[in-house]
Chains A and B, each alone.
Chain A
Amino acid sequence: MPELTIIYDILAYLFPFEFMKISFMQRALLGLLLIAPMAAVMGIQVVNFKMAFFADAIGHSAFTGVALGLILGISPQWTMPAFGLFVGFSIMWSQRKSTLANDTIIGVFFSGVVAFGIAVVSRNSHVARDVQTFLYGDILTITDQDIWFILLLFFILFIFQFFAYNRLMYLGLNSTLAEVHGVKVSVYQFIFAGLLSLVVIFSVWAVGVLLVTALLIIPAASARNFANSSGQMFWYAIIISIVSAILGLFISTISSINTATGATVVLVSFIWYIISAIYARFLGQ
């Protein structure tokens, strides 16, 4: 596997703090700098499509993905994303085939998936540590191999967003209108759901299942308050997510603070949201 040393050296140079000399901190920062903007960009459409509950269901499937890995004797690194994808596509497919409301279908899958995970874990008491990682995230234990995974997803996702961003905005407004006017709505929806499932799974790694939705929607929601166009919204979401990731990681390492990294990142982005809401109230359009 190729070395990531150059990137780590650049990060250590850009942030010349004592703790940035530690390799797990360098990996954590790089991981967050990849995951946070991915989540923020996908979050723009999650907010447009009202898919926060969908993302939450996928996040919870990460737990079951770990459990499945235990049963099958495969590393959770593989079973988590694979199972997340499977659940994401299953929900999308059911939504298209059923006359039930979308959130009802998601709720059904959500409970089924979580119940399956709990059932498996209740038979294997030694997975308690995995459960804690699942709940709170653990970006500090991320490995080079994980980083390569995320880097690959990062490139695929941004290539997709580059070509699909405008169309996704269009079909978010009215999918019938977009479809009649020649947009291949179902293709975009399925690719989007697949990528979103993967981003959510990796975000669970970073901030845990309780906060995964925050990583997606807070930068997007704040960006909505600041931006005057959908082009600007993209840049605001990216900047807010990156600044929150860096500040969150650094603040969490201050010895007098010493909080969970994921939670601190989300808290910083929450402050962004408050500022954006005040801006929108008093200065926005």
Chain B
Amino acid sequence: MNEAANTLFKFNSVSVTLGGNKILDKVNATVPKGSCTAIVGPNGAGKTTLLLTLLKKVSYKGEITFYSPEKKALPRIAYVPQKLQIDTALPMTVLEFMVSGQQRVPFWFGVRTKLKSRAMELLKSVHMESVANRRLGALSGGEMQRVLLALALAQKPELLVLDEPSASVDIQGDILLCELMDKFRKELGFTQLMVSHDLGTVSHHATHVICLNRRVVAEGNASETLTHENLAAIFGLHMGLAQISENCCTKAHLDA
């Protein structure tokens, strides 16, 4: 009973096979409610695939069980993709992008005032109000990720899913993005599930970690899970990386 109250959902023995290759092998993992859960693992570990099972974009065996007091089938999910590959010649403004899922009346007649002010508020909350009339293609990687975060927040999510949110972002942008996400998670109370191979970010921001390499190697809170042994088990015996991670863990531990 208590477990159900603290859990948003569980992967129960989730397996994915694509083209004869086993991408995920009986993954069992829990995502606690209100947590910042990070999925870490090397390239090809199936991290993104695990997110795609959740988004129903890939077929899988096993079950994903949601624990919801209202007995709803699915929480409201918002998604921030790894990197939005857009053609830079497309004349779509950031503001149009922000309301394209909400405004019915076509953009031929402009963006409606009410939706515009809501979108501007969201852009302001991620410090991006100055780019509202810029073309999407003119944004830098970090700016794009913050706009995508604002778009995700517009969905009023209960679960925010992020695929390598800082893959195309510089260090400054990464810190800002992580701080914004922490702030919104605390304010709005959603659960955050992200894929990352940046162990520094994970150890600073994640409250729950799933170590994945086709199957779950370890799972639990960040400082207990990101141990030398677990990282060596999923990334292979790469001492340098393990050493750095260990420092990060120590720092995260001290911060906590």
Give residues 50-65 of B contacting A (CB, 8 Å).
55, 57
Q: Which A residues are CB-close (under 8 A) to B100? A: 166-167, 169-170
Q: Taking CB as reference atom, which chain B residue is nearest A175?
A: B57
Q: Tell me whether B108 and A181 are in contact (CB under 8 A).
A: no
Report the count of interface residues on A (CB-CB < 8 A): 33
Selected contact of A231 from candidates B97, B109, B138, B155, CB within 8 Å: B109
B240 lies within 8 A of chain A by Cβ: no
Contact A231 to B108, CB < 8 A, known contacts A177-B84, A180-B78: yes
Report whether B104 and A163 are in contact in the complex, using a CB–CB cutoff of 8 Å.
yes
**B110 CB within 8 Å of chain A:** yes
A224 CB–B CB distance under 8 Å: yes
Q: A182 and B101 in contact (CB under 8 A), knowing A166-B106, A174-B81, A174-B84?
A: yes
Residues of B close to A224: CB separation below 8 A: 89-91
Residues of A within 8 A of B161 (CB): 180
* Given A166-B106, A167-B100, residue A180 in contact with residue B93 (CB < 8 A): no
A174: chain B residues within 8 A (beta carbon): 81, 84-86
Chain B residues whose C-beta falls within 8 Å of the C-beta of A167 in the assembled complex: 100-101
User: How far, in angstroms, from A179 to B90 measured CA to CA in the complex?
Assistant: 20
B16: interface (CB < 8 Å): no
Give A170-208 as 1s and 0s: 1 = Cβ < 8 Å from B's Cβ atoms: 101110111111110000000000000000000000000
* Bound complex: CA A98 to CA B87 (Å): 25
Bound CA–CA A173/B81 (angstroms): 11
A285 proximal to B (CB < 8 A): yes
The interface residues of chain A lying within 8 Å CB-to-CB of B148 are 177
Q: How far is the CA of A227 from the CA of B103 in the complex (A)?
A: 20
Contacts of B10 in A (CB 8 A): none
Q: How far is the CB of A166 from chain B (nearest CB, A)?
A: 5
User: Is B19 among interface residues, defined by CB-CB distance under 8 A?
Assistant: yes
Residues of B within 8 A of A229 (CB): 91-93, 96, 107, 133
**Docked complex: B66-91 residues within 8 A CB-CB of A:** 77-79, 81, 84-86, 89-91
With contact pairs A169-B92, A224-B90, A230-B92 given, residues A178 and B101 touching in the complex (Cβ less than 8 Å): yes
The answer to whether A53 has its CB under 8 Å from any CB of chain B is no
Query: Which residues on A sit within 8 Å (CB–CB) of B105?
Result: 162
Is the beta-carbon distance between B96 and A180 smaller than 8 angstroms? no
**CB-defined contacts of A231 to chain B, threshold 8 Å:** 96, 106-111
**Bound form: Cα–Cα A37–B162 in Å:** 40
Instruction: State in angstroms the CA–CA spacing of A228 and B135 once bound together.
Output: 7
- A228 cross-chain contacts in B, Cβ below 8 A: 91, 93, 133, 135
Q: Which of A170, A176, A235 contacts B79 (CB 8 A)?
A: A176
A229 to B104, CA, bound (A): 17
B149 contacts the other chain (CB 8 A): no
Asked if residues B55 and A173 are in contact (CB atoms below 8 Å), the reply is no
> Could you tell me the distance between the alpha carbons of A166 and B112 in the complex, rounded to whole angstroms?
12
- Does the CB pair B91–A176 fall under 8 Å? no
Is B55's CB under 8 angstroms from A230's CB? no
Shortest Cβ gap from A5 to chain B (Å): 31
A170 CB to nearest chain B CB (Å): 4
Q: In the complex where A99-B19, A169-B96, A229-B91 touch, is A161 in contact with B106 (Cβ < 8 A)?
A: yes
Chain B residue with Cβ nearest A284: B91
Using a CB–CB distance below 8 Å, which chain B residues touch chain A?
19, 55, 57, 77-79, 81, 84-86, 89-93, 96-97, 99-101, 103-111, 133, 135-136, 138, 148, 151, 155, 161
On A, residues with C-beta under 8 Å from B are: 48, 99, 161-163, 165-167, 169-170, 172-174, 176-183, 224-225, 227-235, 285
Pairs A–B under 8 Å by Cβ, sample size 22? A99-B19, A165-B108, A166-B96, A173-B90, A173-B92, A173-B97, A173-B136, A174-B81, A176-B57, A180-B79, A181-B78, A181-B101, A181-B155, A183-B101, A228-B133, A230-B90, A230-B92, A230-B96, A231-B96, A231-B108, A234-B107, A234-B108
Q: Which 3 A-B pairs have the closest CB atoms?
A: A231-B107, A165-B106, A170-B100
